Structure 1
Amino acid sequence: MEIVGLGYMGLESKNTEGWRTYAPEVLGMAVRPSDGPALLLRMDDRNHRIAIRPGDRDRLSYIGWELLNRPAWEEALQILAAEGYAPEIADPGLREERAVHAMAWIHGPDDVRHEFYYGHGFDSHTFLPGRPHNGFVTGEGGFGHVVLTVPAWTDELNHFIEDVLKFKWFGSGADTGKRRFYRPRRNHRTHAIGYSIVPGVLGLQHVGIEVHDLDDVGIAYDRVLERGDPLMATLGRHTQDPVISFYAFTPSGFPLEYINAGVEDSEVHPFVEGKPESLSIWGHKFNPDAPKPSTMYSAAESVTSDS
């Protein structure tokens, strides 16, 4: 399966209004005008990258995987069907909502709705950041990464990620047996999806987005501190994927990692893909008073979306 990258994601939130200022003023995203209930956030010339819809809880609704073109999309559907996943084809209304040529979706063994699409709408030279900003790293690498929480790493989930989606394993950081990171084969990022293994728990653990300029990380960090938003981890540089980043809680109760200078696939070498003994070279001090992400829930409760 030739997945390009993480193309978009959808969230349900109890606090969509909080995003109207947080997304542009802290993150530098643009809020796209919308006639519907969804708050659409832009990071580049694409129609949107993140859609946030009002709801009675905070949760991940879906993640969208971009295919290169229609033949690649049709091949992906054949692979999914052959593996017993029976993809459902989006109707015209849902295609318009996602702003894509075609889309199909399945419920994965991680209790997440995975959408597969091609032809994402865009309008060249129209992205205007919400604050002075040097831009986000998107393009063929997708818009970033998402880390999900699962109660166990099962054979079914391993088969889905490695054999069905054909994702490449990157590593597990300093927490062997507790984390796993993957990327699509044609993706330059070290990882587009990760899994945090916590017994009895499912849901969204965090989202990562990357910017071109380190100063934009520093400005966002200052604004988080000025607002008094809770941090999950302070500014620091990771060991295995040596980015500089910090983790702060969003208005929807999950942490967002704000990143600069990730390594690309061509730069990954055995040392980076090995087993680091520490999470970070410096910084990333975890806040002992940080709340549990509200987008995580008991594994006995399924909240996968059909919308």
Structure 2
Amino acid sequence: MSSVFGNVHLGYVVIETEKFGDWRRFGREAIGLHVDELRSDAMRFRLDDNECRFLLKRGPVEDVTALGWHVDDHNTFDEIMRRVTGHGVPVAEVAAEEAALRGVERLVRFPGPNGLVQELYTRARTGCGPLQMANHGGFVTGDSGLGHVAITTKKPHQVHGYYDTVFDARLSDYIDETIGGVKFKIRFLRVNERHHSVAIAAVNRLPINPVRTRIQHLNIQVNDLDDMTTSYQRIKELGFDMALGVGQHTNDRELSYYAITPSGFEWEVGWNPLIVDEATWEPTTHQGISIWGHTPEGQTIIDKLAQFKTGIRSLFQAEDSVAALAGSGIADG
């Protein structure tokens, strides 16, 4: 079995929402992305040559529903398909109309952890016309992929096992952090040169998930520091809520902030994270997510109570980790 590591890149994110007006303002005016209005029930954000990096579809979920993964060639595509179907997990061909909405070719989908559908494609179409963005320096994509997503889960070993089985994900490091009196362990997985494309957060020794949405946050990376700071200012001026102010992470050294999207999950804009050197990198554990900054902004006692209630409800809710693809679960850390 050949490894697919390095040939897989986070390509796009699908979001279901009824708040098109708020999302339009958030994406175009606050974050600084290019917006394409497709039809009354679909809108796209661009940030580079790809026709679609974020697809917003009208619906009541207010959440991320799917992750699109770009693979470099048909051999990699076929190898991943062998792994998924070989474990008895169903793969569905995606209709041409849905592939067109995402601006991609040879698209299939299969189940993923935490209700996140995984979509796989081989080629992205180039967008028509010049980008019209408030971000002037552009974004880092290419071999690093779009950015990353962070998932909270009650089954971190199984989620780690899933991405190892499907994409040969490698462990970059861990962070131990206490948030609101609750101890978390966060695992950071890479599938290419980017320090991580998936982060997996879990409450230590408690089977609860305090986050309502399928992802806790997503990340995009700017080329220029000025674009990060000006987008931070725009978010504040436009009245969108901020989760964490500007700070620097302990593990990948990225400078970033976290805003709260109209659908409730967080959106991180970052600058200058390190790139992993595969020849020398060794996983380690960091204490705390930040060297400095990332101070909580605007959280009220009502917000904390809502998180507590979500955590309690999660005790009685099943969580699908797609066990067939999780192996025995990776007993890491």
**TM-score interval, normalised by the smaller of the two chains:** 0.7 to 0.9
SS of residue in 1 equivalent to 2:159 = helix
Checking the alignment, whether the CA contact within 8 Å between 1:149 and 1:204 is kept in structure 2 is yes
Q: Are residue 179 (structure 1) and residue 186 (structure 2) matched?
A: yes
* Structure 1 residue 221, shift from structure 2 partner: 1.1
Superposed counterparts of 1:79-94, under 5 Å: 79-94=83-98
Checking the alignment, whether the CA contact within 8 Å between 1:211 and 1:217 is kept in structure 2 is yes
Q: Are residue 196 (structure 1) and residue 194 (structure 2) matched?
A: no
Output the CA distance in 2 between the equivalents of 1:161 and 1:55: 28
Q: Are residue 135 (structure 1) and residue 145 (structure 2) matched?
A: no
Checking the alignment, whether the CA contact within 8 Å between 2:30 and 2:238 is kept in structure 1 is no
Q: Are residue 243 (structure 1) and residue 248 (structure 2) matched?
A: no
* Structure 1 residue 200, shift from structure 2 partner: 3.2
* Structure 1 residue 40, shift from structure 2 partner: 0.3
Specify every segment of 5 or more residues in structure 1 that has no aligned partner in the other structure, as ranges: none
* Structure 1 residue 163, shift from structure 2 partner: 2.7
SS of residue in 1 equivalent to 2:231 = helix
Superposed counterparts of 1:46-65, under 5 Å: 46-65=50-69
- Aligned residues with identical type, % of pairs: 27
TM-score by structure 2 length?
0.81
Q: Are residue 107 (structure 1) and residue 111 (structure 2) matched?
A: yes
Superposed counterparts of 1:211-290, under 5 Å: 211-266=222-277, 270=281, 273-287=283-297, 289=299
Question: Residues 216 and 119 from structure 1, CA distance in 2 versus in 1: closer, same or farther, beyond 3 angstroms?
Answer: same
Checking the alignment, whether the CA contact within 8 Å between 2:33 and 2:135 is kept in structure 1 is no
Checking the alignment, whether the CA contact within 8 Å between 1:243 and 1:260 is kept in structure 2 is yes
Deviating 4+ runs (over 3 angstroms): 174-177, 267-271, 290-294, 296-299, 301-304
Output the CA distance in 1 between the equivalents of 2:100 and 2:229: 37
Checking the alignment, whether the CA contact within 8 Å between 1:14 and 1:56 is kept in structure 2 is yes
SS of residue in 2 equivalent to 1:157 = helix
Output the CA distance in 1 between the equivalents of 2:54 and 2:318: 25
Q: Residue type of the partner of 2:284?
A: G
Question: Residues 255 and 13 from structure 1, CA distance in 2 versus in 1: closer, same or farther, beyond 3 angstroms?
Answer: same
- 256-265 or 32-41, which deviates more: 32-41
- 261-270 or 20-29, which deviates more: 261-270
Output the CA distance in 1 between the equivalents of 2:74 and 2:51: 19
Count of paired positions: 298
For each residue in 1:52-108, what CA deviation from the matched residue of structure 2 results, as whole angstroms up to 9, or x when unmatched?
Answer: 112223111100111112222122111111122121121322222222221111112
Q: Are residue 74 (structure 1) and residue 99 (structure 2) matched?
A: no
For each residue in 1:240-270, what CA deviation from the matched residue of structure 2 results, as whole angstroms up to 9, or x when unmatched?
Answer: 1101101111122111111010111238955
- 200-209 or 133-142, which deviates more: 200-209
Checking the alignment, whether the CA contact within 8 Å between 1:43 and 1:127 is kept in structure 2 is no
Checking the alignment, whether the CA contact within 8 Å between 2:41 and 2:58 is kept in structure 1 is yes
SS of residue in 2 equivalent to 1:240 = coil
Output the CA distance in 1 between the equivalents of 2:163 and 2:196: 12
Checking the alignment, whether the CA contact within 8 Å between 1:129 and 1:135 is kept in structure 2 is no
Output the CA distance in 2 between the equivalents of 1:123 and 1:95: 14
Question: Residues 221 and 268 from structure 1, CA distance in 2 versus in 1: closer, same or farther, beyond 3 angstroms?
Answer: farther
* Structure 1 residue 226, shift from structure 2 partner: 1.5
SS of residue in 2 equivalent to 1:34 = strand
Residue 11 of structure 1 aligns with which residue?
15
Specify every segment of 5 or more residues in structure 2 that has no aligned partner in the other structure, as ranges: 178-182, 322-333
For each residue in 1:103-157, what CA deviation from the matched residue of structure 2 results, as whole angstroms up to 9, or x when unmatched?
Answer: 1111123321111111111148x44242152101111211110111112224x43
Q: Are residue 118 (structure 1) and residue 126 (structure 2) matched?
A: no
Checking the alignment, whether the CA contact within 8 Å between 2:243 and 2:296 is kept in structure 1 is yes
TM-score by structure 1 length?
0.88
Question: Residues 269 and 217 from structure 1, CA distance in 2 versus in 1: closer, same or farther, beyond 3 angstroms?
Answer: farther
Aligned counterpart in structure 1 of residue 169 of structure 2, from 167, 170, 190? 167
* Structure 1 residue 214, shift from structure 2 partner: 0.4
Question: Residues 303 and 220 from structure 1, CA distance in 2 versus in 1: closer, same or farther, beyond 3 angstroms?
Answer: farther
